[in-house]
Chains A and B, each alone.
Chain A
Amino acid sequence: MTATFFAIQALNGLQFGLILFLIAAGLTLVFGVMDFINLAHGVQYMVGAYLVAAFSAWTGSFGWGLLLALPTALAFGLLLEVLIFRHLYDRDHLDQVLATFGVILFLNQGVKFVWGAAPLSVPVPEILSGSVEIMDGLLYPVYRIAIIAAGLLVAALLYVVVSHTRVGMLVRAGATNAPMVSALGVNIRRLFMIVFGFGAMLAGFAGAMVAPILSVQPGMGDNILILAFVVIVIGGIGSIRGAFLAALLIGLVDTLGRSFAPNLLRLVLDPSAASQTGRAIAPMLIYIFMAAVLFFRPSGLFPVKR
């Protein structure tokens, strides 16, 4: 029983970690390449979820909804880049934090303006509904397996693109030394725009994938944004590999911590104190973990060499 419970929680942690990775990948590239701190990345996740909710209600199918939502999320990201973000690349971090905070305020209310404050729900697509038995007595929802598969697929794709294509090479070079890449004749602004647009699309994809299992509501991106920042800071800003490992680590630590901290503490404390302290400590675990990582390695686990 405990083994099954542990396996389910580990799978949930893996799924959560992969969603975090989808968001963090765009964030870490945008930060690494452009030295641009984008708080509005979380609302792009929210916008992705809203778009898929709107499009799947319109077309009547989640598949078509997703297919329409992705290019729209990309276009929306590019629009924000052109309108606001490109004017901020040369500013200091404080200006970037503030202006993108403004984008959050606007969009969180903006979705309420358009879709109302009540949460939307997106039905799980027909072919991916139900559960399968992975091992003895372990039933796991198919849709969550699909999220894990999609997350791993995107991670593999990103690995190939970043490590083995010309664009990926430019992105890596840009993360190491953007002025030098520009001096070698690469249109760095266009590269920024591409990276930004695809980062926004990845966040939108993450939002779209979780829409059927979470409620789609204003402000849903706020907390996940903070977690994504924890991920990229632990992983080392600009490093996709670091983001991947840190996202899985954070996903597992958070999910397992919440389920097992009270039980573990019961070994040393009496039951009521253990469940009290456990519930207090579990949500703090990842922040304690982050502070510890930064204490020993002030620029993350896999710092990009400059």
Chain B
Amino acid sequence: MTELTHMRPASMSSAAARFDLVPFAIFAAFAAAPFLASASGAEGYVLSLLTRVMIFGIAAMSLDLILGYGALVSFGHAAFFGIGAYAVGILASHGIEDALVQVPVALAASAFFAAVTGAISLRTKGVYFIMITLAFAQMLYFLASSLAAYGGDDGLTLPARSLVAGSGLLESDYALYGTTLACLLGAYILLRAVVASRFGRVLRGTKENITRMEAIGFQPFSFQLAAYVISGMIAGLAGCLLANQAEFVSPAFMTWQRSGELIFMVVLGGLGSLHGAIVGAAAFLLLEEFLPEILHAASFFLSDDLRWRLTENWQMVFGPILILIVLFARGGIMGLLRRGHHG
């Protein structure tokens, strides 16, 4: 899959220095948001929306590691979301509510699933890889749907958010927000370090030309598998957070449409820049939140019936946006920013 080479990571461009500001701006905005939220009056709503944004940011960033840096198009990344969420849900339903147990279990389960499915998937190439990752995610989806003891299709409502070392710290929306922000920052720093390391350079090499990497003595398989496991574990962590944010776990967390949305977020933000994935997740979720109102306001010239139907089916607009981005805006939002700077 060497065709992805035209999408150069932002960090490799000559304008790299200028763009180191972007991640700072992102994290500063997330850090400032709770103060603005408490001033706005609708703090519960703003906090839960932004917490979701950051959770999806973590998952999208983890996908960016294998998609943007390794050119491995995983179409089953939502499975890890599900593993993390179900680890929290299932343990909580057995009375084990402490995050200090839940999170390690979720990470271990994600790592195990990633190692096993990755070892099989990475034997295949190209479209077969896309399809086999999809198949594994579907397996997990159907498994979760059939777990009658844990809600089956309907999902499972958590009795409460996870405890931290026995204390109900996360019951506060601010504390959950802060924890999520800390996880986002931690995941960003970790992934940034991974990408900058020798390991990350080898991974990028396998994306550019796998045959040459083999010729100079690397085993691409082990590097790709390690990246797949790291990526899966981080997405599993995001799943734990999502379960706590929603206080609910359901098979719908890992539908294949969800995996498609994660890819959409990464590409929308800009492949292979890590913070681009956060921007993409934010843009996607905020658009999803506000598009109905925007459409309602923008379609004032239509008849009431048409206007209502358009607002009702606001997702219709998502499809064409996605197509237009793929056709015309290569490099996503980060790419547009970069082009803007070059005039």
Contact = CB atoms under 8 A, between A and B. Distances in A.
Given A93-B130, A280-B146, 15 more contacts: A84-B323, A93-B3, A93-B127, A94-B73, A97-B73, A97-B75, A98-B263, A98-B267, A102-B318, A102-B320, A105-B316, A222-B256, A290-B131, A294-B128, A298-B128
Contacts of B134: 226, 229
B319 A230 contact: no
A238 B50 CA distance: 45
B22 interface: no
B220 to A, nearest CB: 15
Contacts of B125: 298
A105 B312 CA distance: 14
A112 B314 CA distance: 11
19 contacts: A93-B127, A94-B263, A98-B264, A101-B260, A102-B319, A106-B316, A106-B320, A109-B315, A222-B256, A233-B131, A237-B128, A276-B148, A283-B142, A287-B139, A288-B139, A294-B132, A295-B120, A295-B123, A299-B128
B319 A104 contact: yes
B338 to A, nearest CB: 19
A233 B125 CA distance: 12
Q: 4 tightest A-B contacts by CB?
A: A106-B319, A102-B322, A92-B3, A105-B319
Contacts of B147: 280
Contacts of B106: none
Size bin of chain B's contact surface: 35 or more
B132 to A, nearest CB: 5
A226 B138 contact: yes
B313 A294 contact: no
Contacts of A104: 319
A266 interface: no
Size bin of chain A's contact surface: 35 or more
At the interface, is chain A mostly helix, strand, loop or mixed? helix
Contacts of A233: 128, 131-132, 135
Nearest to B318: A105
Contact of B146 (A37, A98, A101, A279): A279
Contacts of A39: 260
A155 to B, nearest CB: 23
A105 B315 contact: yes
B120 A291 contact: yes
**Residue of A94, A110, A276, A288 contacting most chain B CB atoms (<10 Å):** A94
Contacts of B323: 84, 99, 102-103, 106
Interface of B: 1, 3-4, 67, 73, 75, 120, 123-128, 130-132, 134-136, 138-139, 142-143, 145-148, 256-257, 260, 263-264, 267, 309-310, 312-316, 318-323, 325-327
Interface in A97-149: 97-99, 101-110, 112-113
A31 interface: yes
A101 B4 contact: no
A306 interface: no
Given A102-B323, A109-B319, A298-B123, A92 B128 contact: no
B4 A92 contact: yes
A107 B319 contact: yes
Nearest to B2: A92
A164 interface: no
A226 B136 CA distance: 12
A88 B322 CA distance: 13
A294 B319 contact: no
A180 interface: no
Interface in A259-306: 276, 279-280, 283-284, 287-288, 290-291, 294-295, 298-300
A190 interface: no
Contacts of A300: 128
A37 B125 CA distance: 14
A70 B67 CA distance: 39
A102 B145 contact: no
A132 to B, nearest CB: 35
A166 interface: no
A93 B126 contact: yes
A85 to B, nearest CB: 10
Contacts of A290: 131-132, 135
Contacts of B1: 92-93
A230 B143 CA distance: 18
A284 B257 contact: no
Interface string A60-99: 0000000000000000000000001001100111110111
A290 B321 CA distance: 33
Nearest to B264: A98
Contacts of B313: 109-110, 112-113
B221 to A, nearest CB: 13
A226 B1 CA distance: 22
A298 B256 CA distance: 22
Given A93-B73, A98-B322, A284 B310 contact: no
A294 B120 contact: yes
A272 to B, nearest CB: 11
A300 B326 CA distance: 30
Contacts of A103: 319, 323
Given A37-B130, A102-B320, A106-B316, A113 B257 contact: no
A109 B309 CA distance: 10
Contacts of A291: 120, 132, 135-136, 139
